[in-house]
Amino acid sequence: MKIGFIINDLNSMNLEKDTSVYLMKEAHARGDDVFAFDSKDVTHKAISLYANCKKINFPNPSELNFVIDSSVSIEVKEFDFVINRLNPPFNKEYLYLTQMLEISGVDCINPAKALRENNEKLMILNFPEIIPFTVVTNSLEEIERVFENSNIEKIVIKPLDGMGGKSIFIIEKGDKNLSVIWETVSQKGKKHFIIQEFIEEAKLGDHRLIFIDYELLNKKVVRVPSDKDFRGNLAVGAVSKIETVTEHDEKVAENIIPYLKENRIFFAGVDLLGGWLSEINITSPTCLQEIHKNSDLDPAKIFWDTLNKDR
């Protein structure tokens, strides 16, 4: 088969953790031809979408080190599978890519329509019963009202287009940095952001649940913040451990799976803090390597077995 991955710069990959390369390697090991291209590599002409693709080869089957064998222009519809794993932010170029993919009849994992219509921070608003106190605003006054009209003493502010823990702030009641944080995150009210009550249990770890083909894997990644940072993101120094999913995790999954099915979201990463749903990642979910290295599960095998079964 011919597999196309839409990803960011290949040279920036952290081979020890990267999920895209991990999935590529498994496809290559199965005898598939693996190609990679970025949003900047596509051209729509003669009613079709074409991509300048790099063919990826793994010389040593036991290693994630790869080489680029060649570059070639391919009509994107020729791929048996297109795995869309561009990182946020979801900007105008990302938007245009999803439109060109859909107009050209290219079916992706995850679908272009789902990526376009489901912001990873805002998706949780579909599940009000299982999320912490949450407000979406661009207003400094709304932040102040959260403290004035509730017993909340500490909040987290996140931009709607971030990833990897970037530009996330903790604010305590009476914090004199509130105005400057608001200016930074909202660009003085030009951009909306999300406010959530700070969950004290987050200090014990951010729990990442993995969904493949609308099913919850029975292992999860718990990302524990370092002593120097409150964020449970591996990109900022958190450490991970693998645990078996709990009955509560399965109940959360029961809430989310119908939505994933409705939107044809084949691959998702769901984050829980203290049992509360905090985020749903669908653009480029991670943590598959951590599960593979520290448990008896092989998520890449599950990923490709399931896709091939469903053909």
Place of tokens 């998706």: 123
pLDDT (mean) for 126-133: 97
- Assess contact for 108 and 83: CB atoms under 8 A: yes
pLDDT (mean) for 168-174: 91
* Predicted local distance difference test score (pLDDT) of residue 310: 65
| 266 has a pLDDT exceeding 80 | yes
Q: What confidence category does residue 308 fall into, taking pLDDT thresholds of 50, 70 and 90?
A: confident
CA atoms within 13 A on the CB side of 184: 11
- φ, ψ dihedrals at 176, nearest 5°: -75, -10
- d(CA 241, CA 1) in angstroms, rounded, equals 35
* Predicted local distance difference test score (pLDDT) of residue 230: 60
* Angle between helix 19-29 and 299-310 (nearest 10): 60
CA distances from 55 to 31, 37, 74, 86 (A): 13, 9, 11, 18
- Assess contact for 27 and 109: CB atoms under 8 A: no
Q: Name the DSSP class of 142.
A: H
- Assess contact for 194 and 134: CB atoms under 8 A: yes
Q: What is the pLDDT of residues 44-78, one digit of tens each?
A: 999 999 999 999 999 998 899 999 999 999 999 99
Range in 25-29, 116-120, 171-175, 229-233 with the lowest mean pLDDT: 229-233
- φ, ψ dihedrals at 121, nearest 5°: -85, -35
Q: What confidence category does residue 204 fall into, taking pLDDT thresholds of 50, 70 and 90?
A: confident
| 235 has a pLDDT exceeding 80 | no
Percent of residues, the chain, with pLDDT higher than 70: 94
Q: What confidence category does residue 168 fall into, taking pLDDT thresholds of 50, 70 and 90?
A: confident
Q: Which amino acid is at 125?
A: L
* Predicted local distance difference test score (pLDDT) of residue 20: 96
Average pLDDT, the chain: 92
Fold assignment, 201-310: D-amino Acid Aminotransferase; Chain A, domain 1 (3.30.470)
Q: What confidence category does residue 153 fall into, taking pLDDT thresholds of 50, 70 and 90?
A: very high
Same CATH fold assignment for domains 2-110 and 133-198 = no
Domain boundaries, the chain: 2-110, 133-198, 201-310
* Predicted local distance difference test score (pLDDT) of residue 229: 58
Q: Which residues face 125 on adjacent strands? A: none
- φ, ψ dihedrals at 155, nearest 5°: -130, 165
- φ, ψ dihedrals at 171, nearest 5°: -130, 130
N-terminal to C-terminal alpha carbon distance within the chain: 12
* Predicted local distance difference test score (pLDDT) of residue 257: 98
Handedness of CA 109, 40, 118, 206 (dihedral sign): positive
* Predicted local distance difference test score (pLDDT) of residue 240: 84
Class of domain 2-110: alpha beta
Fold assignment, 133-198: Dna Ligase; domain 1 (3.30.1490)
List all residues 6 or more positions away from 94 whose beta carbon is below 8 Å from its beta carbon. Answer: 39, 86, 115
| 236 has a pLDDT exceeding 60 | no
